[in-house]
Amino acid sequence: MAENKKRERYNIRISGLGGQGVVTTAHILGATMDNAGKYASLVPFFGSEKRMAPVEAYVRASSDPIYEVGEVVYPDIILIYHSQVVTHGKSYTMPFYTGLKPNSLIIINTDFDVLTEDDMKVLNDLNATVVQFDATKLAKKIAGTELATNMAMMGMLLGLTKLVTTAHIEAAVRERFLGNSFVASGGTASLDSAIEKKFKKKEQLLTANMDVINQTFEMANSVDISGSELIVRFDV
């Protein structure tokens, strides 16, 4: 495939653990692209989405229509929602960067350096950029719940790629929490009601989520990852 075609399209793989909102992220990302008048296709991983079990979801985002379906086997972007994905191999794709294309982006939620020497050599050869920050801590700090971790990860992704504006995201998040067009497993729905109780009102939930996203957008704006070192770290 021609190299110059790659950047018009992002093939994203999201790896995390059950309960972290991985599948939810995929759906919101899809809706966000839709709101922006662009295209997305997504494939949630289905099977045993139990708490703390590995979960993967895949999103393709593009300014052109997308035909392809199925898992993203050769991603341009990888989101890692939990350090254990890397350190414990809690992932369906091992090692976590399997299939990564050259000049790609990896965003990892962690409070310590997770990459081994060997990992770094492979990623350096691929000219990848690894963005590393404690999204869970950020979620707790701003939204008061670690359930907003996925918002932080998504915000960072969209902030760095500048695919959409925060208005597009807000509309998608609003649809996700207030609309009813979402299809997911029963477990996700009961999780929602748990969050709702905590926040009393859905609007509050929405605002808290958006605060997290806005914060990550700001963080993303503060750096230029092109030509950067292999690892870019943010303090939270």
**Residues that bind other proteins in the complex, under the rule CB under 8 A:** 1-2, 5, 27, 30-31, 34, 39-44, 46-47, 65-74, 181, 183
Specify the amino acid at residue 214.
N
Angle at CA of residue 159, ends 39 and 129, nearest 5°: 100
Residue 47 or 89 having the CB closest to other proteins? 47
Shortest Cβ 74–other proteins spacing (Å): 6
Q: Rounded to whole angstroms, how far apart are CA atoms 212 and 154?
A: 10
Shortest Cβ 145–other proteins spacing (Å): 26
Query: CB neighbours (10 Å) of residue 116?
Result: 12
Shortest Cβ 16–other proteins spacing (Å): 18
Residue 3 or 118 having the CB closest to other proteins? 3
Residue 43 or 195 having the CB closest to other proteins? 43
Backbone angles phi, psi at 106, to 5 degrees: -125, 130
132 and 108 Cβ atoms separated by less than 8 Å:
yes
Residue 63 or 221 having the CB closest to other proteins? 63
Q: Rounded to whole angstroms, how far apart are CA atoms 27 and 194?
A: 20
Shortest Cβ 73–other proteins spacing (Å): 4
